[in-house]
Amino acid sequence: MNKQAIGYGYMPRAADSIPQFCEGHNISRTHLYELIKQGKGPRLMKLGRRTLISAEAAAEWRARMEAETASNAGQSFWENPLIA
């Protein structure tokens, strides 16, 4: 992965492939496809035969996931798991 140090983070590319996105967010491809199937995944774009996720779509996805987690903060994981 092409990480450039900026403080504690890295400078994201304009768009990531599915494997790059999964590696950068520490999730499996299977989990990503489950989220997409449930309508909870990031927006995808096609460029020729490649499927990419823009930096903006990734940021919006992270914000949605954080908001969903925050709205379920009072419940335990077993009462309301994010993935059923």
* The predicted structure's pLDDT at residue 75: 64
3-state secondary structure of 22: helix
The answer to whether 14 touches 55, Cβ cutoff 8 Å, is yes
Q: For the chain, how big is the Rg over CA atoms in Å? A: 14
| C-alpha of 84 from chain center | 18
DSSP string, 45-60: EEETTEEEEEHHHHHH
Whether the predicted pLDDT of 69 surpasses 90: no
In tens, the pLDDT along 8-37 reads: 555 668 999 999 999 999 999 999 999 999
